Amino acid sequence: MSMNQLGEVRVHGESRTESAPEPMKTPVAASRPALIGHRYWVGIAMVALLLAFRFPSAAATVTINGAQTYQLIDGFGVNANFRSWTNSELQPAIDALIDQAGMTLFRVIHDRTDWEATNDNSNASVMNWTYYNSLYSSPDFEKLWGLVGYLNQRGISNNLTLNFQGIGPAWMINGGTDVLRSGYEDEWAEMIASLLIYGRNTRHLQFGLVGPDNEPDNTPEPIQGVQVASVTQYVTMLRRLASVLDANGVGDLRFVAPDLAYGGTNWLAQLMNDPVIMGKLAYFGEHSYLADGGNSSGVYDFLKQSAYPDRRFWMTEFNVWCQSCETGGGGATDWTFFRGSAEYLLAHLANGASAGLLWEGYDSYYLIRGGWSYWGLLAVDNINAVPKTYTPRKNFYTIAQISKFVRPGMQRIAVNGSASPLTLLAFYHSNTGQFALTGVNTSSSAVTFSGTLTNLPSISSLALYYTSSTTNLAFKTNVPVAGGVFNATVPADCVFTFSGGALKLSMALLYTNQAKHIVLSWPAALTNCVLEGSTNLNPSLWSPVTNIPQPAGGQQLVILPPAAQRQFYRLRQP
C-alpha cells in the first residue's frame, strides 16, 4: 500500500437545535421510475443522472453550522449472505469490509424462510426441540452460525441483524400467492423464534436485531419474503413473535421493520398504533433502489411528528439498480454506477436516514434465485474456485469515502449556501471532536470552494481524501483552516471527504495492564492519528509506536510487551 493511499485493499459542548432534514447541496436529480418488483426499477434514472451532471464549474461558498443538527448516525454496513460461509475463505472479505471500509452494521441474510418443511407439532405454543435441534445443527445452518460467530469475533454483535428472505413453508402459505395463510401467524412466529432462541441459547451467539420478514408487501415478486394479506396480518405476526421471544428469555432482541419493497411511510402508522410492537422496535427499515432518495423522503419528518419522535430509520437495502447483477449476468463495470452508490447513500442521509446498508457486501449464491448475485462491493474472482477469493469493485471505495469517515455517534449538521456543482453533507461527533464533510463532484473539472465553520470547536486543518475512476481513497492534501475559514479544491468527477477535528485525545487513549502485555486502545472513530511513545514528557523525544493497531469492537488496539522502564504514550493528529 502506497503512502498516499488510505485503505487500499487486496483480498486473495455547544447549544444545538434539531431540525427537519435539509436537502443536499446539490441533490442528485433523477426520474423516479415506477416499481415493477423487488429492485426492478427502470434504467432511465441513470440517464437522468448523466444529464444532471452538466453543471458549470462555478465557485461555491458554504457555511457549516454546528448548532443546526439533524439525525444521529448509527453506522454503515452491508447485507451479507450466509451461504457464502465455507470454513475460513470468507474471512478476508469480512475483514476488508470492517477494517478497510469501516463497516459496523451487518444484516445477515438467510434464504429461504421455508426451513421448517414439516410442522414441528400441532401446537404453536410448544416447541419441539428434538425437531429443532436436529434442524439447526444441519450443514446449511452451520454456515449461518459460522458467519455470525466470526462477526462476533470481529466485535459485531448488538448491531448484527438476522434477516429472513424467500417464501415460507408450503404448508404455511397459500400456494397460488405465497401469502401466509390466515390463522398461521403463530406458526410463523414459532419458526422464526425457534431459530433465534437456538442461536442465542444453544450456540451462545450475540446478535441484537432481527428483521423477521423481508419485503412482506412485494406481491409482484413474492420470493423476496413471506407475503402477507394486509398490514393487519403483519402486525399480528410481529405481536406474536414479540410474545414468544419474551416467553423464552430472549426478549432483549429488537425488531428492524417493516423492510418494505414499496416503502416510505407505508405501514408505519399501523405499527406505531401497537404498543407491544413499539416496545420491541429499534429502527424502522426502508428499502430503495431509486435515485434522489426515493422511498426515504418524508420518513424523518413523519417520525418526528409522531408519538415516537425518538425512533430512527435505517436504509436496510439500497443501491443503484443493476439488472445484470440481479439476474446472474455479472457485476457492474461503469464508473457512474459506482459513484452512484455513494450518491444514493448521500441522498438517503440528506433525507434523515441514520444508517445505510448496501445491497450487498460480496457476490454470493441465492437459493431464492437459483443462481449467483453480482451486487457485491467485493467481486468473487471465480465462482468455481476452491477456496474462493474476492476483489474490491470500485464502489467498495466510493462507499468507504462515507463509511470510513462518518462514524457511529456523529450527527449531521447544516451546510448552507451555494454548493453547485458539489453535493455536500457535514457531520460532527461531539464526544470525539471528529468532523467530516463528504460529497460528490459530478463535474468533469476540479471545483474550488470556500467554507466557513461556525458553532464548532476550533479545527486547524482538514485532510482531503477522494475516490475517482482512477484513484481509491487517495490522500490529496491537508487544507488549512484559519478562523474557521478554509478554501479547498475538489478533484474532478469524484467522491470526496474532508476529515478533521479538535480531537479529544485526552479522553480517548485507554491503558490496560494485563498479565503478559499492555493494551492501548482508542475509539476507531479517531482516524488520522499517530500513536507515539516516550520515556519522559520532553516534547522533542516522542517517537511513533510501530506496532500495527488491530480493530476490535469499535476500538483500535495496540498490544505491547511490558516495558522495562517508565513509558508514556499519546495520540497525536499530524
Residue 95 has pLDDT above 70, yes or no: yes
Q: What is the pTM for the complete model shown? A: 0.82
Residue 25 has pLDDT above 60, yes or no: no
CA 120 to chain CA mean position, Å: 36
Per-residue pLDDT, 512: 57
At 53, the pLDDT band (50, 70, 90 cuts) reads very low
Specify whether 461 is located in the same domain as 536: no
DSSP-derived pairing of the beta strands 364-366 and 355-358: unpaired
Q: What CATH number does the domain containing 35 carry?
A: 2.60.40.1180
**What span, in angstroms and rounded, lies between the C-alpha atoms of 524 and 429?**
12
At 82, the pLDDT band (50, 70, 90 cuts) reads very high
Specify whether 386 is located in the same domain as 290: yes
Specify whether 379 is located in the same domain as 412: no
Specify whether 81 is located in the same domain as 138: yes
Residue 171 has pLDDT above 80, yes or no: yes
**What span, in angstroms and rounded, lies between the C-alpha atoms of 90 and 421?**
40
Per-residue pLDDT, 45: 37
Specify whether 310 is located in the same domain as 412: no
Q: What CATH number does the domain containing 528 carry?
A: 2.60.40
**Contact between residue 102 and residue 155 where contact means Cβ atoms under 8 Å apart:** no
Average pLDDT over residues 141-160: 96
The fraction of the chain above a pLDDT of 90, given in percent, is: 74
**What span, in angstroms and rounded, lies between the C-alpha atoms of 25 and 15?**
24
Give phi and psi for 422, each to the nearest 5: -90, 145
Identify whether 7 is part of a domain: no
Domain end position, chosen among 356, 382, 403? 403
At 265, the pLDDT band (50, 70, 90 cuts) reads very high
- pLDDT averaged over the chain? 87
Average pLDDT over residues 500-529: 64
Among 24-38, 296-310, 347-361, 520-534, where is mean pLDDT lowest? Answer: 24-38
Identify whether 11 is part of a domain: no
Specify whether 429 is located in the same domain as 378: no
**Contact between residue 268 and residue 274 where contact means Cβ atoms under 8 Å apart:** no
Per-residue pLDDT, 5: 35
Per-residue pLDDT, 284: 98
DSSP string, 496-535: EEEEEE---GGGT-EEEE-SS-EEEEEETT--S-EEEEES
Specify whether 424 is located in the same domain as 464: yes
Residue 42 has pLDDT above 60, yes or no: no
Per-residue pLDDT, 468: 98
Per-residue pLDDT, 550: 82
Specify whether 46 is located in the same domain as 97: no
DSSP-derived pairing of the beta strands 485-490 and 447-454: antiparallel
At 497, the pLDDT band (50, 70, 90 cuts) reads very high
Domain end position, chosen among 468, 501, 534? 501
**Contact between residue 409 and residue 504 where contact means Cβ atoms under 8 Å apart:** no
Identify whether 334 is part of a domain: yes
List, for residues 375-395, the tens digit of each pLDDT value.
999 999 999 999 999 999 999
Residue 492 has pLDDT above 60, yes or no: yes
At 40, the pLDDT band (50, 70, 90 cuts) reads very low
Per-residue pLDDT, 511: 58
Per-residue pLDDT, 9: 37
Among 131-145, 297-311, 331-345, 532-546, where is mean pLDDT lowest? Answer: 532-546
Specify whether 159 is located in the same domain as 171: yes
**Contact between residue 429 and residue 500 where contact means Cβ atoms under 8 Å apart:** no
Per-residue pLDDT, 345: 98
Identify whether 523 is part of a domain: yes
Residue 255 has pLDDT above 60, yes or no: yes
List, for residues 305-359, the tens digit of each pLDDT value.
999 999 999 999 999 999 999 999 999 999 999 999 999 999 999 999 999 999 9
Identify whether 331 is part of a domain: yes
**Contact between residue 299 and residue 286 where contact means Cβ atoms under 8 Å apart:** yes
**Contact between residue 119 and residue 181 where contact means Cβ atoms under 8 Å apart:** no
Per-residue pLDDT, 397: 98
Specify whether 188 is located in the same domain as 98: yes
- 570: which strand partners? 532
Identify whether 174 is part of a domain: yes
Q: Distances from the Cα of 321 to the Cαs of 37, 83, 138, 268, in angstroms? A: 12, 23, 35, 25
Specify whether 300 is located in the same domain as 367: yes
The fraction of the chain above a pLDDT of 70, given in percent, is: 84
Q: What CATH number does the domain containing 103 carry?
A: 3.20.20.80
Average pLDDT over residues 415-431: 93
Residue 483 has pLDDT above 90, yes or no: yes
At 554, the pLDDT band (50, 70, 90 cuts) reads low
At 97, the pLDDT band (50, 70, 90 cuts) reads very high
Residue 58 has pLDDT above 60, yes or no: no
Q: Distances from the Cα of 234 to the Cαs of 65, 256, 264, 269, in angstroms? A: 42, 13, 17, 13
CA 279 to chain CA mean position, Å: 24
Per-residue pLDDT, 39: 44
CA 310 to chain CA mean position, Å: 20
**Number of folded domains that form the chain:** 3
At 148, the pLDDT band (50, 70, 90 cuts) reads very high
Domain end position, chosen among 403, 418, 450? 403
The C-alpha cell of 337 is what? 454506477
**What span, in angstroms and rounded, lies between the C-alpha atoms of 226 and 228?**
7
CA dihedral 195, 198, 201, 207 (to 10 degrees): -40
* Cβ within 8 Å of residue 200, ≥6 positions away: 206, 207, 250, 253
Give me the half-sphere count of Cα atoms (radius 13 Å) on the Cβ side of residue 38.
22
Per-residue pLDDT, 32: 31
Per-residue pLDDT, 22: 47
Average pLDDT over residues 60-71: 96
Domain boundaries, position 58: 17-71+407-501
Specify whether 462 is located in the same domain as 371: no
Residue 142 has pLDDT above 70, yes or no: yes
Identify whether 522 is part of a domain: yes
